Amino acid sequence: MKVAFYQESGEWTGSSRALAAAAEAFAEAGDSVRFIVPLDSRVQEHVAGRNYDVQTFDPRDWWITRMTRLRRLLREHGAEVVFVHTGSEHLIAAIAGRLAARCAVVRRTPSGGHVALGWRTSLAARFAPSAFLFASEMEARRALVPRKLGPTVASALGVRLPPAEEPHPPAEGEEPSTDAYHILCIYDGQSRERTALPIRTVAQLAPRHPEIRITVVGPGSDAEEIRMHVAALDVLPRVDLLGERTDLAQLMRGATYGWVACMGDDAAFAMLDLMATGLPVIAQNDEPARQYVLDGITGMLVHGEDANLAAGVLAGTLGRTEQVAAMSEAARARVGREFAESRMLEGFDQAARAARRQPPG
């Protein structure tokens, strides 16, 4: 099968990561893959050098110019199906695919998102056979996609489980390295209000747990506005604002809990990455969090934005190494059992085949 991926946004996000993982899997399976991204963008930096073909377009061009460029790239590639995320991408890909080689389109909706079934979607489904890919069965049912527009497929996100690390005994005369009060907070650069809750929670816990500290990492996590909030709560010595980092795996190894201050696919991947590393996850109680985190078993779900309530939930496990170890083991096991990357990729393959079987609307 010849597969294409088309993304208009130049930002590297959880949604971009999902497409890149799928592209990698199709290529490893022997399919011909082409990834089409904005020129000189963050997403181009991340997908460059992979084992599939990467092509670019100028995002400043008028939509007809972008569509013409996409048509030529799809025709050259002989693409049978193209994956997109937004309504604009769906329409442009459908027109380009119709003019190029009658290419089908799979429209994926990010975790916790809602698909807009307006005139663009209806028109796109008339131009090209379409299928709709969702991150959960519940989201697929809630979308109420009319059958005439195309079939729906549900596929949760997934990650590869890293090998378990053997504990290293301390050297002679060295104290055991335990940091039972360290929280790693992952921020997506968009949900700034969500960074306030973990910082306020640390401020609430600090008087009784002077060892507690939090590291906030992600694009924009070192913004002056967040730093001023930390200073106003008088917890500067307990909070590290690191900004965007490339050593997230190393940072995870130095933490005991992971707090997710993200939304959408960014949140879903953050939860899975933390759980796969063996960190219990703390997250606000929304639909994506309920899908991936078992409250009290693989992590803790915080209801609302009340720091007092969040502090009460977290205080019940602080310093309790056996309880945290049990949650850590359960988190890792759940990822391996239910959210393996291979299962996510099976959903992408199923959606591609469903789209190709669908006649134009």
- Residue-wise pLDDT for 125-153, tens only, equals 999 999 999 999 999 999 999 999 999 99
Output the pTM of the full model.
0.91
- Residue-wise pLDDT for 162-211, tens only, equals 877 654 444 444 444 446 789 999 999 887 778 889 999 999 999 999 89
> 241 pairs with which residues across the strands?
216
**Arithmetic mean of pLDDT, 46-67:** 94
Residue-range domain boundaries for the chain: 2-158+341-357, 182-338
Side chain identity at 20, as an amino acid letter?
Answer: A
DSSP sequence for 170-221 = PPTTPPP---TTEEEEEE-SS-HHHHHHHHHHHHHHTTT-TT-EEEEESTTT
Q: How far apart are CA 340 and CA 272, in angstroms?
A: 9
pLDDT over threshold 70, residue 48:
yes
CATH topology of domain 2-158+341-357: Rossmann fold (3.40.50)
Q: What is the pLDDT of residue 173?
A: 45
pLDDT over threshold 50, residue 351:
yes
Task: Check for a shared fold between 2-158+341-357 and 182-338.
Answer: yes
What does the mean pLDDT of the chain come to? 91
Percent of the chain with pLDDT over 70: 95
- Residue-wise pLDDT for 96-129, tens only, equals 999 987 899 999 999 999 998 889 999 999 999 9
CATH topology of domain 182-338: Rossmann fold (3.40.50)
Burial class of residue 169 (count of CB atoms within 10 Å of its CB; 0-12, 13-18, 19+) = exposed
Residue 56: strand, helix, or coil: strand
Q: What is the pLDDT of residue 131?
A: 96
Q: What is the pLDDT of residue 361?
A: 56
- Residue-wise pLDDT for 305-348, tens only, equals 888 989 998 988 888 889 999 999 999 999 999 999 999 999 99
DSSP sequence for 322-342 = HHHHHHHHHHHHHHHHH-BHH
pLDDT over threshold 80, residue 1:
yes
DSSP helix, strand, coil percent of the chain (3-state; round to 5):
45, 20, 35
Residue 244 makes CB contacts below 8 A (sequence gap 6+) with 189, 217, 218, 219, 220, 221
pLDDT over threshold 60, residue 84:
yes
| Of 87, 82, 150, 84, the residue nearest 114 (C-alpha) | 87
| Of 110, 66, 164, 67, the residue nearest 291 (C-alpha) | 110
Contact 19, 83 (CB under 8 A): yes
- Residue-wise pLDDT for 17-46, tens only, equals 999 999 999 999 999 999 999 999 999 999
- Structure tokens, 36: 């089409």
Residue 288 makes CB contacts below 8 A (sequence gap 6+) with 111, 112, 135, 263, 264, 267, 268, 271
